[in-house]
Amino acid sequence: MNIKDGFKFRVRLIYFSFFLFGAVLLTRLFFIQVVKGEHYENLANRQYVALSAVNFDRGNIYFSEKGEKLISAAAIKKGFQAVINPKILENHEDVYQKLSGIIPVDKEDFLKRAQKKDDPYEIVANRLDNDTAKKISDLKINGLDVYGETWRYYPAGNLASRLLGFVGYKGDELVGRYGLEEYYEPILGRGDENLFINSFAEIFTDIKKNLTSDPKKGDIVLTINPAVQSMLEKTLEKISEKYETEMAGGLIMDPKTGEILAMAVKPDFNPNSYSENEDISIFTNPIVENIFEMGSIMKPLTLAAALDQGKITAETKYDDKGYVYIDGARIGNYDGKGRGVVPMQEILNNSLNTGAIFAMRQLGKEEFRKYLINYGFGGKTGIDLPNEVNGKISSALESPREIECATASFGQGIAVTPIEMASALSTLANGGFLMRPYVVKEIKVKGGADIKTEPKTIRQVLKKETSEEMSGMLVKVFDEALMGGIYKMERYTVAAKTGTAQFNIEGESGYQESEYIHTFFGYAPGYDAKFLTLLFLVKPQGVRYASNSLSEPFVNITKFLLNYYDIPPDR
């Protein structure tokens, strides 16, 4: 055989090899797509695409304990689900009997799903443990399978539920709903949850997605301390039960940084079973989403503004007749009594409405309005939680009359969120600075550098000297005036003030005689505050004043915090 013939032979051999390979490939494709098409279609339906709930993924949320130890607040939990393929499932009644012997199954629902011949994937039970999944698998029923499943899980149950929110469906998407889950959806979410595609197939179906990633995806670490949060929630629950309140709420924050250590509202819910709640209002967070007229805890802010401008001093006196007429209306003290000529300290000690009005008048309406705005009232604090609302102070800002500023001076006629009020009150405890409150201290970025939250000063509202002087006056309130001084601490200074405000008559301009909101704020140590606590009760029953309902709970919280954080005595 010459060289030319040898070359032709090799070419023919190559052509024949290609032809033979093609014939084998076509035969195999025919076998897969036609002869065994239904079998492989079922396999594909099982392995390639499944409902999002099966292989759900999401970033974690962590509480942070003292010492930077992280505790899971929201995570992904693994288990199993039982699935039927109606295309191949036979003997429906028999399958139901065997399955219901292992797990509770609604017969009507099961048989209805089993009739869906065009759907190869019907979930009949989920969130099963290993032992249960094995028992179902051991039945070895064609068309009944067990698959791995993941879902959002909240290990602490109700703890901080109004703050955390939950993960649920919004239309066809499984996303964060309410609270931190909603606010940080761009960080916690993991893209398209409508379909799960196995990792091998995903390489070919969306190469670009695998080559690029969002640098902001990750986990979040909260400022919330679970021990402090738990203590606050137990306290609120106890008060709420005792006084049959419509709502009880509170927060604890570091006034120097704006860091929220605890935030709670009762009643609350379990995010692991949120669907059991018919009233969706329980999912909201009233501390940022509701406004209230918060009463006499406003008085220290009014006095601070007048002190700051040099219009009064702690020694300034006024003649308290027990009432004052403004724009034709009579405004009196809570008990209608006059105290005669008294210094500014008595305005706080005895919570005198006439005294707050006196301080506002010394300052003047226009200057008083400027301080309202500088305290942050009427705006948003910028806290990293969804649906924050503005306080309503337009009556005090816009009315040509004096009476709106007069009532605002002691906390009525203007309505603000609890977080607004706590932020404003922090100026008394931190040297006069309005700080942005926050609940996430760090974002642990997936594949990138972690992002830490830095405290943010919005503005300086009061001089440092004003803040210190007001702290001294509030320490005297706690030591001498609050319940006759019975709570004075031998080794610590504590600054505090109570508030009791009436609720508006709906649709009218007056106030209800028997419906109140109780408020209480305080900070410790009084001259170097490490934490500020704000508590409120909505419509407590059987108790008239906040000093009676909230003094003891506040003191118990304060003692716990001083001990827990090992804060050294300051007296």
| 222 Ramachandran zone, left/alpha/beta (phi>0; psi -120 to 50) | beta
pLDDT confidence tier of residue 193, bands split at 50, 70 and 90: very low
Instruction: Tell me the C-alpha distance between 532 and 521, whole Å.
Output: 7
Q: What is the mean pLDDT of residues 329-344?
A: 94
Angle, CA 505 vertex, CA 499 and CA 511 arms, to 5°: 45
First to last CA, the chain: 113
Q: How confident is the model at residue 208 (pLDDT cuts 50, 70, 90)?
A: very low
What are the pLDDT digits (tens) for 410-443? Answer: 999 999 999 999 999 999 999 999 999 999 999 9
| pLDDT tier for residue 556 given thresholds of 50, 70 and 90 | very high
- Write out pLDDT tens, residues 261-272: 999 999 999 999
Closest to 378 (Cα-Cα) out of 398, 392, 360, 365: 392
Cα angle for residues 386, 388, 393 (degrees, 5° grid): 175
Average pLDDT over residues 275-291: 95
What pLDDT score does 317 carry?
Answer: 96
Token pair of 566 as six digits: 């090992």
Q: What is the DSSP string of 144-193?
A: EEEEEEEEEE-TTTTTTHHHH-EEEEETTEEEEESHHHHHTHHHH--S--
Confidence check: pLDDT of 50 > 50: no
Q: Which two tokens stand for residue 257?
A: 């940084």
- Candidates 529, 518, 523; CA nearest to 555 is 523
Helix (H) or strand (E) holding 515: strand 511-524
- Contact between 333 and 353 (Cβ < 8 Å): yes
Percent of the chain with pLDDT strictly greater than 90: 74
How far apart are the C-alpha atoms of 56 and 254, rounded to whole Å?
36
Q: Which domains does the chain have, with CATH numbers?
A: 75-155 (3.90.1310.10), 226-269+285-564 (3.40.710.10)
**Type and span of the H or E element at 123:** strand 122-128
What are the distances in angstroms from CA 508 to CA 269, 292, 326, 332, 410?
34, 16, 20, 20, 20
Instruction: State how far the Cα of 284 lies from the Cα of 306, in Å rounded to an integer.
Output: 37
Among the ranges given (51-65, 138-152, 278-292, 434-448), the one the predictor scored with the smallest mean pLDDT: 51-65
Supply the pTM of this predicted model.
Answer: 0.85
- pLDDT (tens digit per residue) in 357-391: 999 999 999 999 999 999 999 999 999 999 999 99
Helix/strand/coil (H/E/C) assignment for every residue in 289-318: HCCECCHHHHHHHHHHHHHHCCCCCCCCEE
Q: Are 195 and 53 in contact (CB under 8 A)?
A: no
Of the candidates 221, 123, 115, the residue with the CA atom closest to the CA atom of residue 438? 221
Whose CA is closest to 45, among 119, 148, 112? 119
d(CA 287, CA 290): 6
pLDDT at 171 over 80: yes
State the greatest distance between any 2 C-alpha atoms of the chain, in Å, as a whole number. 132
Confidence tier at 509 by pLDDT (50, 70, 90) = low
The DSSP bridge pattern shows strands 247-253 and 260-266 to be antiparallel
Mean pLDDT of 117-121: 88
> What is the pairing mode between strands 70-84 and 144-153?
antiparallel
Residue 416 is given by DSSP the state B
Contact (Cβ atoms closer than 8 angstroms) between residue 508 and residue 285: no
